[in-house]
Chains A and B, each alone.
Chain A
Amino acid sequence: MSPSTTHTLEHSRFGRVELADDVLIHCDGLPGFPEARRLALLEHDRSTWFGWLVCLELPELAFAVADPRRFYSDYSPKAHLNDLRAIGATPEDDLDLLVIANITGEGSFLNLAAPLLVNSRERRLIQAILADDRWPLWAPLDSKGRRFDPNQIESNPHR
């Protein structure tokens, strides 16, 4: 593929999104979504706290993702060496860290038990399942007294 190749994602909610090769992030499946291979992070149009993770193989997929340290400043997941190897990284590498947000009728939560590790140099991502149980799968988003308004994540991410 040439570097200028563009992929079109026909998203069921966002409509047509054009993704150049060099913005794609590669993964080897996500838990629950083994088909996921080519992902992209889209900026949110109105929220600086959240972005969208979309997937070329699964046009219906759109995770709201966030920098967990905006909400849990002490978040320091210890990834397994295998997970680092899978994205071509070593423990010395500085990886980008994101988590998936779960916005439910009962509240909003961050999945701190299985963060997304992104090796931006290699453009590879893995959802790492942490070996310890220190970080919850359903960590409330308003733990720092910063209440989260689900309305801020609706709307089109791609204007």
Chain B
Amino acid sequence: MLVLSRKDGEAIRVGDEIVITVISTSAGHVRLGIEAPSRVTIHRDEIYDQIAAANRSALQMPALNEPVDSEEKP
């Protein structure tokens, strides 16, 4: 992992098209501004991880592993 120090108002550039600017910092809190092409999707990492975990969990359905029964549609 590349580690850089930046001050308020300073930025980093990722490739030709993405600029991430430190808007402000306070105790344990960083506010970032991100400029990127519209085709680039940007998500808070933990939100994406939660969706991925929920998707993996959705495959763990116990009902799928049980034998087929002969009930009719509700």
A interface with B by C-beta (< 8 Å):
13, 30-33, 46-49, 60-64, 80-83, 85, 100-105, 111, 113-114, 127, 129, 137-138, 149-156
With A102-B54, A102-B58, A151-B63 in contact, is A47–B41 under 8 Å at CB? no
Nearest CB in chain B to that of A45: its residue? B73
- Whether A31 and B48, one on each chain, are in contact in the complex, defined by CB atoms closer than 8 angstroms, is yes
Do A156 and B68 form a contact, CB below 8 Å, given A102-B57, A111-B58? yes
Interface size class of B (residues with CB under 8 A): 20 to 34
- Find out whether the CB atom of A64 lies under 8 angstroms from the CB atom of B61: yes
CB atoms of A81 and B38 under 8 A apart: yes
User: How far is the CB of A146 from the nearest CB of chain B, in Å?
Assistant: 10
List 14 additional A-B contacts (Cβ < 8 Å) besides A31-B51, A47-B74. A31-B52, A32-B56, A46-B71, A48-B73, A62-B59, A80-B41, A100-B54, A102-B58, A104-B60, A111-B55, A114-B51, A149-B74, A151-B63, A155-B68
A-B CB pair tally, cutoff 8 Å: 98
